[in-house]
Amino acid sequence: MSTAVALAGGRRTLRVVERNSRTYLRAWPAFVSGFLEPFFYLFSIGIGVGALVGQLPGPHGPVDYDQFVAPGMMAVAAMNGCVFDTTFNFFFKYKYAKTYDGMLATPLAVEDIVRGELTWALLRGVLQSGVFLATMWAMGLTPSGWSVLAIPGAAVIGFGFAGAGLGLTTFMRSWFDFDYVQLVIIPMFLFSATFFPISQYPDGLAWVVRCTPLYQGVAIERSLVLGDPSPVLFLHAAYLVVMGWLGLRVAGRRLGRMLQP
């Protein structure tokens, strides 16, 4: 963990992470309840609807539907854990709470703030998906030893979405613009081969889905959990890393201009 922090920017970044973790300790029920949503979906769609779906083809023969859905939900957990903090919370802090003006009055620089927020969101996403993976294991939904790598997989997903979230939020003008966040997140959540395989789509549409960011995450997590790793996974990961890096660059430059006019 400390390595991740160091990679993201060192000791001053850590201060931002510390600040966030302390404020969150005060609102822990909201924090803890955030872990539950993917489970509810796993039980409802994975097991409830799964009983109606039966088995789907997997890499090593047919798999039960809950086994198919669970890694998808894990990718979603990694995404959701990051998106809230880097969009709604980020916006609230720079526009209304003036948290970052306060931070800039200390030796912290804009880059430290952006990296700190990213690291914090990333930790949260990894924690949420880690707890989810542990439960999948307890429920017998992790047939392969490769599942362990689903945690770094979640970190890559988290990095991609946290960076993109920060970058895009600097373009938001008011709360109304946040409807667009929902408008992006929910279709991805529903259609990125999370609930049904990509073979259900007609060819053209399947390629559109293959280009969406969450699909990269779902592909990574599902291949690892079902024990079918391949070099293609690096390509999916590269997509997410580039997306996160671009978002981080944009966020750093624009936030700097907004906070230090």
Partner 1 sequence: MSDAVADPAVGRAPGAGTRALPARLTHALPMLRVAEREARIWGRLWHTSLLTGVLMPLLFLGAMGVGLGDLVDDNSGSVAGLDYLVFVAPGILAATALQAASGDSLWPVMAGIKWVKSFHAAAATPLSPGQVFGGWVTWTTARLLINATLFVIVAALLGGVPSWWGVLAPLAAALGGLAFAAPLTAYSAAQDSDLSFPIIMRLAVVPMFLFSGTFFPVDQLPDWLEPLARLTPLWHAVELCRGATTGSITLVGAIGHTAFLLAIVGLGCWAGTRTFRSRIAP
Residues contributing to the site for partner 1 (CB under 8 A): 27, 29-30, 33-34, 36-37, 40-41, 43-45, 48-49, 51-54, 56, 176, 179, 182-183, 186-187, 190-191, 195-196, 200-201
Name the CA radius of gyration of the chain, rounded. 19
Q: How far is CA 179 from CA 87, 97, 165, 250, in A?
A: 11, 21, 14, 21
Closest to partner 1 by CB, 56 vs 149, is 56
| Cβ atoms of residues 223 and 193 within 8 Å | no
Question: What are the backbone angles phi and psi of residue 181, rounded to the nearest 5°?
Answer: -60, -50
Nearer to partner 1, 7 or 51 (CB): 51
Contact 12, 112 (CB under 8 A): yes
Q: Report the DSSP pairing between strands 55-58 and 61-64.
A: antiparallel
Nearer to partner 1, 162 or 193 (CB): 193
Q: How far is the CB of 180 from partner 1 (least distance, A)?
A: 9
Token digits for 248? 């981080």
Nearest C-alpha neighbor of 247 from the set 170, 155, 154: 170
> Between 76 and 156, whose beta carbon lies closer to partner 1?
76
Task: Identify which of residues 2 and 28 has a Cβ nearer to partner 1 in the complex.
Answer: 28
Q: Shortest distance, CB of residue 249 to partner 1, whole angstroms? A: 29
Residue type, 179: D
In angstroms, give the least distance from the CB of 59 to partner 1.
18
Residue 94 CB, shortest distance to partner 1, in Å, is 19
Q: Which is nearer to partner 1, 40 or 234 (CB)?
A: 40
In the bound complex, what is the minimum distance in angstroms from residue 55's beta carbon to partner 1?
8
Question: Residue 62 forms beta bridges with which residues?
Answer: 57
Shortest separation between residue 43's beta carbon and partner 1, angstroms = 8
Distance of closest approach, residue 204 Cβ to partner 1, in angstroms: 15
How far, in Å, are 68, 140, 194, 248 from residue 54 at the CA level?
Answer: 11, 17, 16, 42
Q: DSSP state, 10?
A: -
- Say if residues 206 and 128 touch (Cβ distance below 8 Å): no
Q: Which residues contact 214 (CB under 8 A, 6 or more apart)?
A: 75, 76, 79, 188, 189, 192, 194
Distance separating alpha carbons of residues 5 and 7, to the nearest angstrom = 5
When the beta carbons of 22 and 176 are compared against partner 1, the nearer one is 176
